[in-house]
Chain A
Amino acid sequence: MDDFWFEFVEVTQSIGDGVLFGSTYALIGIGFTLIFGAMGKLNVAYAAAAMAGAYSSLAIYILFDAPLVVIFIVSAICAAILGYLVYLTCFRFIPVHNHLAALMASVGGLFFIDEVIVHATRGSPLAFPSMFSEAYFEVGPYGIRGDLLFVFFIGLISTGVLLYVLFRTRLGLATRAVAQQDVAARLCGMSIHLTNSTTFAVAGLLGGIAGAMTAAAVGILSPVMILPLTIKGLIVTVIGGLGSIPGAIIAGLFVGGFENVVMYFRGIDERDMYVVALLFIFLVFRPNGLFGKTITRD
């Protein structure tokens, strides 16, 4: 019985840690889903731009000896600028109905950003300052890591601010109007290019925060983190339902918990395999995701 109890605590502990870390996946998923909602297109370069934001903030942190608190803000701003540049290069001038061209352009964007990072860092990982890593709370048999809790907290605030902007400001309502009925939005005086580029920049803000959160939770920044983050972000987006923000939040936390418990039982080298398997299960049994609607566009 004691063995069972010990095992139970260990498993739930790893799920809890995973859910806290999953807030980074949720943010990345929200970013993918925002852009998909606005344009009906996937921006595959999104997570790469997010990590590039974290790299830029690390560079500024080291070069200017900036205080630690600014690192999330700088990362968010850099990723927002990059998000806008990705929009300009990969989406703005590609014909609206050519989805494949936009997808391939953003895949190109992903590899381009990846190459630039590899080139600039010679491919070696860099230490990233984590916050509250020495803090540790004990709750009954469980322990909560301060850095994970902090990351979760940042994710919570960012999501809250985003939802407020989306539902309670003109920018948010205009963005949702464009997403829901783009033809009518244009003919009510809204500029599609302006709302789209703002959406990319706002998604970039979130991505930059998520990039810095990931790096802060792991303690390092490495180019090899880009592809897994991209793939997990996409998986979260699909599981949550393309275009659904609540879906992305729940799916992000779920994938975080799921991968951690898989890691507990099967080890880190098998972890991502099971996450991808989860994607296939969803694609077969619930192809529209948790909250996805069947998407029809005219």
Chain B
Amino acid sequence: MLEVKSLSKHFGGVQAVRELDLAVNAGDIFGVIGPNGSGKSTLVNLISGVFPATTGEIHFQGQSLSNLSPHARVRAGVARTFQNIRLFPGLTVWQNLWVARNSTEDTRAEGISFRWFRKSGPVKNEIDAMLEFSGLADKGDELASNLAFGEQRRLELARAAATKPRLLLLDEPAAGMNQEEVRDLGRRIRELRQQGMTIILIEHVMELVMGITDRIVVLNFGSKIAEGEPAAIRKDKSVQEAYLGQSEDG
């Protein structure tokens, strides 16, 4: 479904990602791990189009993403969440989902049209279901900025899912969560997969990555050092070395 071919990204003299090859199968939960600065977030930014690659190709469902702007990639079916939460703080929870839901709906509108905002109509059930899914059913009319941290994380996941992506990129969704919240998150990610989404999960929280992924890629200094099933990765010598070089689990 997603194919990354010899992808590189330089920031000045720094090589954040170098000659990376990846293939993600449809329906997988695909983990990307690695020490800090190994290029994981850069990879998400390259796939979602926040900045262009220096060299290399990204193909999604046979289509090259390289020349597509970020919003066009969303419309092509690639959505993401952010490591540092980026909600629309002045919109309500309901509106956050509503604008995201509608921006991929109408092929001509690209987020612009005079469709009236109503908390009814054809999308109401869909959004109510999303609120239910995120455990925010009673928070629909709250401003996003008034939500607690964990709720903001859940809303961001729901908002990304609201664009109805085929591929969902999650950039450290468990950062700052306690164990129970992490388990909750794992359950939600599995549910999204069941709805037909392929998921790329970038994460430091090993419990989550090892628990729900089908395959894992390990990055270090922008290159792939290992790839395989969670059990194999856990035993991999080069992975252990890469992480031992770090002072903490990150």
B residues within 8 A CB of A171? Answer: 112-114
Q: Determine the interface band of chain A, counting residues with CB < 8 A from chain B.
A: 20 to 34
A residues within 8 A CB of B79? Answer: 187-188
A173:B70 contact, CB within 8 angstroms: no
Tell me which of A130-138, A190-198, A228-236, A258-266 binds B.
Answer: A190-198
| Whole-angstrom CA separation of A14 from B69 in the bound complex | 54
B116:A176 contact, CB within 8 angstroms: no
A187:B74 contact, CB within 8 angstroms: yes
A residues within 8 A CB of B80? Answer: 187
B residues within 8 A CB of A213? Answer: none
B117:A188 contact, CB within 8 angstroms: no
Tell me which of A39-47, A79-87, A177-185, A271-279 binds B.
Answer: A177-185
A187:B50 contact, CB within 8 angstroms: yes
Number of interface residues of B (CB under 8 A): 37
| Whole-angstrom CA separation of A198 from B110 in the bound complex | 12
Kindly identify, within residues 153 to 172 of chain B, every residue whose CB is under 8 Å from any CB belonging to chain A: 159-160, 162-163
B86:A190 contact, CB within 8 angstroms: no
* Contact residue among A167, A170, A192, A198 (Cβ-Cβ distance under 8 Å from B99): A170
B117:A169 contact, CB within 8 angstroms: yes
B99:A173 contact, CB within 8 angstroms: yes
Q: Is A189 positioned at the interface, with any CB of B under 8 Å from its CB?
A: yes
Which chain A residue has the least Cβ–Cβ distance from B117? Answer: A168
Tell me which of B18-26, B88-96, B190-198, B222-230 binds A.
Answer: B88-96
* Contact residue among A165, A167, A187, A195 (Cβ-Cβ distance under 8 Å from B70): A187
Shortest B76–chain A CB gap in Å is 10
Q: Is A174 positioned at the interface, with any CB of B under 8 Å from its CB?
A: yes
* Contact residue among B86, B87, B91, B111 (Cβ-Cβ distance under 8 Å from A191): B111
A170:B88 contact, CB within 8 angstroms: no
Measured CB to CB, the residues of B under 8 A from A are 48, 50, 69-71, 74-75, 79-80, 82, 86-91, 95-96, 98-100, 102-104, 109-117, 159-160, 162-163
A-B contact pairs, 13 of them (CB 8 A): A170-B99, A170-B102, A170-B109, A170-B113, A170-B117, A176-B88, A184-B88, A186-B71, A188-B103, A189-B75, A191-B69, A191-B112, A194-B112
